[in-house]
């Protein structure tokens, strides 16, 4: 049973307080009466969100939160008190963002990009506005021209900041913004550049696909020429072999090779790639 996630659980017994639900490992959780409907009955499997309440009890709800564990969402502050900011995240019990997890003191009514995490000491779910602590700046698994999912969250002097594929930090430069966009929007974008510091430059229109592929083709053709007309690589070669020999990813290699093959510029043989 995963706290902070939607779980599919079986109704196993009824009590005065509600139904008890069970997972495949026989772990139980209470679904309070407030969430029980007339259609529910013993042995039914239902989807519920599991979390810890204010008394550290694991409970289930049929309400659907706007964000789940280790995800980002654009959420609004309902109240600020001595404990921190309380966020509307779709459940009756608001989500706490402690002051330690705020970049600046949050204000009631304002919207913020929030990451949902589990407090290590209490295992309660809390929110954090410290975006840079929860995105990756290495092992970036996107490349030039790729279509990506964006969650926009902050307009700066440089442009609009965005979370890319829920994993990375991206920037759409102001000079590349040619339509109205707002923080909180979920839109598609395209990778313009992956920087050495792990940040990603994004544009809103597709890059010239042909230009991207042609660059990969040029790299492959040049390598074949430098190796006496035979390149000892194939689509079964490892990413490490391709990167070492060509300096491009396996994905880029396969796209370029596919184009060259369709245009009958190369032949794929057991020995490798030959020019035609």
Q: Does residue 124 share a domain with residue 170?
A: no
Give the whole-angstrom CA distance, residue 72 versus residue 89.
11
- Whether 153 is covered by a domain: the verdict is yes
Predicted confidence band of residue 211 (pLDDT cuts 50, 70, 90): low
- Whether 28 is covered by a domain: the verdict is yes
Question: Which tokens go with 16?
Answer: 């005065």
- Whether 138 is covered by a domain: the verdict is no
* Tens digit of each residue's pLDDT (9 = 90 or more) over 157-180: 999 999 999 999 999 999 888 888
pLDDT at 47 over 60: yes
Picking from 147-151, 198-202, 230-234, which range would have the lowest pLDDT averaged per residue? 230-234
Q: Does residue 271 share a domain with residue 215?
A: yes
Predicted confidence band of residue 244 (pLDDT cuts 50, 70, 90): confident
Percent over 90 (pLDDT), the chain: 66
252 and 245 in contact (C-beta within 8 Å)?
Answer: no
Q: Does residue 240 share a domain with residue 225?
A: yes
Upper half-sphere CA count for residue 202 (Cβ side, 13 Å) = 28
Give the whole-angstrom CA distance, residue 102 versus residue 205.
33
- Whether 139 is covered by a domain: the verdict is no
Q: Which residue has the higher pLDDT, 234 or 104?
A: 104
Q: Does residue 221 share a domain with residue 198?
A: no
Give the whole-angstrom CA distance, residue 142 versus residue 273.
26
Q: Does residue 215 share a domain with residue 266?
A: yes
Boundary-marking domain end, from 81, 105, 132? 132
Give the whole-angstrom CA distance, residue 228 versus residue 125.
61
Q: Does residue 221 share a domain with residue 268?
A: yes
User: Residues 241, 262, 251, 219: is their CA dihedral positive or negative?
Assistant: positive
Q: What is the pLDDT, as a whole number, of residue 209?
A: 54
Question: Which tokens go with 136?
Answer: 């990756």
- Whether 66 is covered by a domain: the verdict is no
Mean pLDDT of 73-77: 98
- Whether 193 is covered by a domain: the verdict is yes
Q: What is the pLDDT, as a whole number, of residue 252?
A: 82
pLDDT at 184 over 80: yes
Q: Which of 131, 123, 29, 49 is nearest to 93 (CA)?
A: 49
Q: Does residue 169 share a domain with residue 184?
A: yes
Picking from 111-115, 197-201, 211-215, which range would have the lowest pLDDT averaged per residue? 211-215
Mean pLDDT of 137-147: 91
Q: What's the distance, CA 215 to chain centroid?
A: 28
**CATH number of the structural domain spanning residue 151:** 2.40.50.140
Mean pLDDT of 206-230: 79
Predicted confidence band of residue 112 (pLDDT cuts 50, 70, 90): very high
Predicted confidence band of residue 263 (pLDDT cuts 50, 70, 90): confident
Picking from 11-20, 158-167, 177-186, 236-245, which range would have the lowest pLDDT averaged per residue? 236-245
Boundary-marking domain end, from 161, 184, 203? 203
pLDDT at 120 over 70: yes
Domain span including residue 97: 72-132
Number of domains in the chain: 4
Boundary-marking domain end, from 132, 161, 181? 132
Q: Does residue 217 share a domain with residue 258?
A: yes
Q: What is the pLDDT, as a whole number, of residue 216?
A: 81
Predicted confidence band of residue 213 (pLDDT cuts 50, 70, 90): low
Q: Residues 6 or more apart from 240 whose CB is under 8 A from it?
A: none
- Whether 178 is covered by a domain: the verdict is yes
Give the whole-angstrom CA distance, residue 35 versus residue 257.
56
- Whether 43 is covered by a domain: the verdict is yes
Q: Does residue 198 share a domain with residue 215?
A: no
Q: Which of 274, 247, 249 is nearest to 261 (CA)?
A: 274
């Amino acid at each position: 049973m995963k706290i902070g996630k939607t779980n599919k659980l079986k109704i196993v017994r009824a009590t005065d307080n509600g139904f008890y639900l069970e997972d495949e490992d026989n772990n139980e959780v209470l679904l309070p009466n407030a969430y029980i409907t007339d259609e529910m009955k013993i042995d039914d499997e239902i989807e519920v969100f599991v979390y810890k309440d204010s008394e550290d009890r694991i409970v289930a709800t049929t309400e659907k939160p706007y964000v789940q564990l280790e995800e980002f969402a654009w959420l609004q502050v309902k109240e600020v008190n001595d404990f921190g900011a309380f966020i509307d995240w779709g459940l009756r019990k608001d989500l706490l963002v402690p002051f330690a997890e705020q970049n600046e003191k949050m204000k009631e009514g304002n919207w913020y990009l929030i990451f949902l995490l589990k407090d290590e000491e209490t295992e309660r779910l809390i929110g954090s506005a410290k975006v840079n602590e929860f995105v990756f700046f290495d092992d970036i698994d996107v490349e030039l021209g790729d279509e990506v999912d964006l969650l926009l969250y902050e307009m700066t002097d440089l442009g609009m900041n965005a979370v890319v594929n829920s994993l990375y930090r991206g920037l759409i430069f102001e000079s590349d913004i040619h339509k109205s966009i707002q923080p909180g929007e979920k839109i598609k974008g395209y990778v313009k550049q992956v920087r050495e510091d792990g940040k990603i430059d994004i544009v809103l229109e597709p890059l010239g696909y042909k230009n991207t592929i042609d660059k990969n083709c040029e790299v492959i053709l040049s390598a074949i020429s430098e190796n006496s007309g035979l390149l000892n690589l194939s689509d079964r070669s490892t990413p490490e072999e391709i990167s070492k020999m060509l300096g491009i990813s396996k994905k880029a290699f396969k796209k370029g090779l596919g184009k060259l093959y369709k245009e009958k510029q190369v032949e794929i043989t057991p020995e490798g790639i030959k020019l035609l």
